[in-house]
Amino acid sequence: MTSYGAGHADLARAIHDECGRLGIEIPPDSLQRLAAYAASLWSWNERLNLTRHTDVPRFVSRDMGDAAAIAAHLARGERVLDVGTGGGVPGVLLAILRPDLKVELSDSVAKKARAVAAIVAETGLDVPVHTGAAQALVAARPAGPGRFDTLVVRAVAPLAKLLGWFEPLAESYGRMLVVKGPRWEEERDDARLRGPTRKVTIRRIASWPIRGSDNESVLLEVRRRDDAQRFMPR
């Protein structure tokens, strides 16, 4: 891993330059916090396996690229739960790039939840981190101001398994946004065949290239069937 001096200034500059090279737009005032997060994540990664993206090009192209794509589909002030946050992607990045959002993080692995809570604190963010199954957290807030508008999911489980967890709770949250890779159509078809889809629909709402390959990532939206009809393009 490259060493960056002068506090996080060099790292912030490297992130800025890589975002510019890849055409990823970020608020200028987010750079120092992005650098602080990356430095903290990589430091913790030496003690606990949290990420494979341990240099600026991969951090920007994969982690920030995914977070920026998700952010474009979130309305101002949404309450967002990052399901299975791992090292904080995409939830921490969403909180940095979009401070208007009400972001919370969850992970069922206690040691990962403790690590990401420390990373959040070291980054200077006020973002709640929950230990345990995200399903229980969602089920505990079916209504009221604590209800989640959007669940964001990246690299957690196949779609069929995700639907097994969250389709029964479809009335307790707004929607899911799920980042998937080149095999997304296989997963979607398998989910429709084997997963519970009586209450929800699945559709692709965005795609973007995976840098350094011929493949692309996609953003899938999972909504309650009655809600989905209202959001379908005419």
Tell if the pTM clears 0.85, that is, is over it: yes
- What digits encode the pLDDT tens for the residues 117-162? 999 999 999 999 999 999 999 999 999 999 999 999 998 889 999 9
Q: Domain-by-domain residue ranges, the chain?
A: 9-231
pLDDT reported for residue 195: 73
217 confidence band (pLDDT: 50, 70, 90) = very high
Q: Domain 9-231 in CATH: superfamily?
A: Vaccinia Virus protein VP39 (3.40.50.150)
pLDDT reported for residue 122: 96
Residue 234 has pLDDT above 50, yes or no: no
CB 130 within 8 A of CB 105: yes
- What digits encode the pLDDT tens for the residues 1-36? 444 444 689 999 999 999 999 999 999 999 999 999
Q: Is 198 exposed, middle or buried (0-12, 13-18, 19+ CB in 10 A)?
A: exposed
